[in-house]
Amino acid sequence: MTTYIITGLRTPTGRYGGALAHIRPDDLVAEVIRGVINETHIDPHTVDEVLIGNANGAGEDNRNVARMAWLAAGLPDTVPAMTVNRLCASGMSAITTGTALIESGQAHLVVAGGVESMSRAPWVMEKPKKAFSRPGEIADTSIGWRFTNPKFLARDKMTYEMPETAEEVARVCNISREESDLFAYDSHMKAAAATDAGHFTREIHSIAIDSDETIRRTTTIEKLETLRPVVAGGSVVTAGNASSLNDGASVVLLASEEAVQRYGLTPRARIVGSATAGLAPEIMGLGPVPATRNLLERIGGSIDQFDAVELNEAFAAQSLACIKEMGVDPQVVNQWGGAIALGHPLGSSGCRIVITLLNRLEKNQGTRGLATMCIGIGQGQSLAIETV
């Protein structure tokens, strides 16, 4: 069975505390779901499943944000929904889970996507171990480890924070600060140029703003060079060559061949295949390398078959390392900028890069594309699509 992408929409990416910070995550993705339903003119009663990726789940996105978003959008109670969590790849895993449902004959129409409001991520506190004792650990849930299992603390480097993992990848793969700053600068310049050219118009569903808040148009190499490393003893990773904390949501409509014919839908692409991989948590940034290797073993061919590649830019250092280790032509990677400029709202990013990939392929008359990303705690996921 074939799974088709009918359309995909996303919010503009909001800065931390920015234009989208006043919107609850369930309401944020509800708006995009409604946008996809309206664009495709499908009867929402015909949707078999709603799958929304979300990495946090500690605040307003608790209790199955997928289900809450569908209901918040005013859509039928009879449609089931499930939240998917694979941290940074949650949105991509929502798509691959939907694909599996369709290809196994369990569904014909699936709404899949992701959401994250890092601005609204709450502080959480351990319950006291006994009455009248002092509170335990208090943690910000925006990103990173919290309430860490003591077993993990005994393993060297396992509980590195994300910037520390990027420093480790830079060390292992010999990536310099100079390369990283240039990569970050290019990401912002490409994103600004793509925005000005209207390349994102088809994918953006305007909510509060109509373009990404995250692009730094006035940045320069000289400004980036002045920033201090964020890791004690580090030399490569800075706030300027890393993705930021962001808010955003993205959604695609997936359909089987039967649904395409029954409802008169026009597919834009088909899912060729996907794969995941695990690796040491301290080098999680290299996750796209084994994930893409696994994907190519599954679908056949080489990395050169892809006309466009969307690599989620968690950090410039890990992005450069992945490009190097994968042997991919840098010219086909993130031609419209990446997460350093466009933002990384965790649960949404995996779906967002698939949507941007599809639009890049159509704009440049390409055929086959790759979306790939690293995942905290040591995983990677890759997805291949083909225009139709």
Query: Strand 308-311 and strand 368-375: pairing?
Result: parallel
- For residue 177, is it left (φ>0), alpha (ψ between -120 and 50) or beta? alpha
Contact 362, 386 (CB under 8 A): no
Within 10 angstroms of residue 36's Cβ, the number of other Cβ atoms is 21
Contact 108, 130 (CB under 8 A): no
Which structure tokens are listed for 91? 């949105």
Which residues are annotated as catalytic?
A: 88, 344, 374
